[in-house]
Amino acid sequence: MVLQVVRGLSRGFGILPKLKRAMLISGEAAVLNIVLDPILITVMNPAGKGAEGAAYATILSQFVQAVLTIWYFLKKSRNVKIHAIRPEKELFSEIFGVGFSAMLMQVMLLVQQTVLYNVAAQYGGGKWQTILGATLRVQSFAFIPLWGLSQGYQPAVGTNFGAKQYDRVKYITKIFSIAATLLVAIFYLPIILAPKAMLSLFITEPEIVAQGANDFRGFFISYIVLGFWVVILTLMQSLGRESKASVLVLLRQIVIYIPAVFIMSHVAGLGVHGVFCAPLITDVVVLIVVIWMMCSEFRRMDQLKAANR
């Protein structure tokens, strides 16, 4: 059913060929990054700058992606051209509203991880920093398909909302929420059922794996609801509800998460284990807010639908 909906949306809005082009450009940059990583690490490692080599590989691949994107809009795109650009001041607020929450997510993620590593170092030392690092890498990897799904959801729901097809907005949101949850389950189930095996993919020392397996599982115990959070966050961005989108980002990344880390670590006396318990508290609270926001927007759409009759 999900596949049929996606195919129908793609045919209806003509987005599939464009998505293929975007995927091709991003894929070429990703492959280049993979190729450059070992080369630059090997070249710069004798000077003690192997990590810098990986960073340079990422920067170069992103530069190539930017060049390819600009070239496409200069030479190939039939609908959008870079030539003769002039600023439309009345659109600035809308552009900023949609992009601010996405930018905020990246900034807050940096702040969040800095705090997590510091607390892990304070209470557990280097081994627990290693366990936390592996945990966060798994989290980042599991988020990639969700981010891709949100990129397909955003134009679909935004176009239908602009066309006043409010029932279709609800239906698309329901389908994408189910699809997002299924994507999360692909990573969630192996982590919950076999945490040692999953953690062993990133840590080679068996004693560290055994030490961190239970906390690794606990970190992801509520991760199954993340797909729904991503869909509703994208819904708020698509509808121009920049304040609500920003609230969702701040709640999950900082406002609830960071206090939960300190409370569980300091007040509850869990020490480093509190770092891995904090996501459960955060996700439960944020889930309540997400459901409230979704229901609020759906009620608003019902009112708009009734007013347009």
pLDDT in tens, 212-263: 999 999 999 999 999 999 999 999 988 888 888 888 888 888 889 999 999 9
pLDDT band at 175 (very low <50, low <70, confident <90, very high): very high
Considering the chain, what percentage of its residues have pLDDT values greater than 90? 34
In this predicted model, which residue has the larger pLDDT, 266 or 227? 227
Residue 129, CA atoms < 13 Å, CB-side half-sphere: 10
Give Cβ neighbours of residue 59 (< 8 Å, ≥ 6 apart): none
Nearest to 228 by CA among 146, 132, 108: 146
Instruction: Please determine, for residue 185, whether its predicted confidence score (pLDDT) is greater than 80.
Output: yes
Alpha carbons within 13 A on the beta-carbon side of 236: 27
Task: Give the Å distances, CA to CA, from 67 to 25, 27, 62, 63, 83.
Answer: 10, 14, 9, 6, 16
Can you tell me which residue has the tokens 């609270």? 285
Contact 112, 253 (CB under 8 A): yes
Please give the Cα distance from 309 to 304 (Å, whole number).
9
Predicted confidence (pLDDT) at residue 7 exceeds the cutoff of 50? no
Give pLDDT, residue 80.
63
Task: Please answer whether residues 261 and 275 qualify as being in contact, where contact means their C-beta atoms are separated by less than 8 angstroms.
Answer: yes
Instruction: Assess whether pLDDT exceeds 50 at residue 11.
Output: no
224, 188 Cβ separation under 8 angstroms: yes
Token pair 């900082």 is at which residue?
A: 254
Look at the alpha carbons of 45, 49, 53, 58 in this order and tell me if their dihedral is positive or negative. positive
pLDDT in tens, 82-136: 666 677 777 666 666 666 666 777 777 888 888 888 988 888 888 899 999 999 8
| Cβ contacts of 196-202, under 8 Å, gap ≥ 24 | 198/138, 199/131, 199/134, 199/135, 202/133, 202/134, 202/137, 202/138
Give the DSSP per-residue string, 270-306.
Answer: -TTHHHHHHHHHHHHHHHHHHHHHHHHHHHHHHHHHH
Please tell me the predicted confidence (pLDDT) of residue 79.
67
pLDDT band at 276 (very low <50, low <70, confident <90, very high): very high
Query: Which of 12-26, 50-64, 145-159, 288-302 is the least confident region?
Result: 12-26
Residue 51 pLDDT? 78
pTM for the model stands at: 0.73
Binned at pLDDT 50, 70 and 90, residue 178 comes out as very high
